[in-house]
Amino acid sequence: MAKIIRKAPPKSKPAAPKRLKKAAAVSGPVRAAKKPVRIKPWTAAEVHEAFSRFRKANPEPKGELEHLNPYTLLVAVVLSAQATDAGVNKATRALFQVADTPQKMLALGEEKVREYIKTIGLYRNKAKNVIALSEKLIAEFGGVVPRTRTELESLPGAGRKTANVVLNMAYGEHTMAVDTHVFRVGNRTGLALGNNPLEVELKLLQVIPPEFMLHAHHWLILHGRYTCLARKPRCEVCLINDLCRWPEKTV
């Protein structure tokens, strides 16, 4: 008599844990992403009106970094990276009394520069840059702060923003220095939308009338620093709240 071989029934898949079943039920089908909100571009008349208001309220805006000449301005801007203007000023008041030229800064030396600026973030690397840029100014530019963007950006510790500030404040060039405040104001108001500082800079240069360009970056910095704050913008006292495109305005 032949031996009968019985096949074992196929193993059933283990039931999914209740937690997974619940999560799947909650998640449901994949939803389409929300369409980005389209912001209506500012008209030329609106841009002119905004900067007319800034000018009327503050005809001669000043940068808040204290300096004595183009060289100390350059040093102050280099030191201001990831630091507040107030913190930089506190350190440089004493420093610039003893070293207001590249030659005097070199004579002071990196170790002593560190002592003067040790209250500023990244002070060790910044002291190294200050000495290095001073050496380069003497060796390649006769101790004079250069007047072109390319030359300024070649200095240790100096980038595009530094070059824009120096060209504008020391030499009266119509440049746009985009720091965190200008970047925020440009994007939040819809005046100059951009994914990075360069995009915002180029857009602002495109839309701001030449008559306002000398002081434009100061007006925008001050507006971002004291009115269009990062966490709690003061829309109730904003000079341009009726022009601003931000959908979450508090007025």
- The pLDDT value recorded for residue 132 is 98
Kindly tell me if the per-residue pLDDT of 16 is higher than 50.
Answer: no
> How far apart are alpha carbons 91 and 72 in whole angstroms?
12
Kindly tell me if the per-residue pLDDT of 108 is higher than 80.
Answer: yes
- The pLDDT value recorded for residue 37 is 60
Write the CA distances from 126 to 94, 119, 135, 156, integer angstroms: 16, 12, 14, 9
Extract long-range pairs of 163-167: CB within 8 Å, 24+ residues apart: 164/201, 164/217, 165/63, 165/73, 165/77, 165/217, 166/70, 166/73, 166/74, 166/77
Report the percent of the chain where pLDDT is more than 70.
85
- The pLDDT value recorded for residue 18 is 47
- The pLDDT value recorded for residue 60 is 94
- For residue 178, what are its two tokens? 């985009």
Kindly tell me if the per-residue pLDDT of 101 is higher than 60.
Answer: yes
Q: What burial letters (b/e) apply to 106-115, b meaning 16+ CB within 10 Å?
A: bebeeeebbe
Per DSSP, helices labelled H in 64-144 are 70-79, 85-98, 102-108, 110-117, 123-141
Instruction: Pick the catalytic residue from 7, 18, 118, 161.
Output: 161
Specify whether 7 is catalytic.
no
Poorest-confidence range of 6-15, 53-62, 65-74, 205-214?
Answer: 6-15
| Closest to 238 measured CA to CA, from 188, 183, 169, 195 | 188
- The pLDDT value recorded for residue 249 is 87
Specify whether 13 is catalytic.
no
Instruction: Pick the catalytic residue from 7, 40, 126, 179.
Output: 179
Kindly tell me if the per-residue pLDDT of 17 is higher than 70.
Answer: no
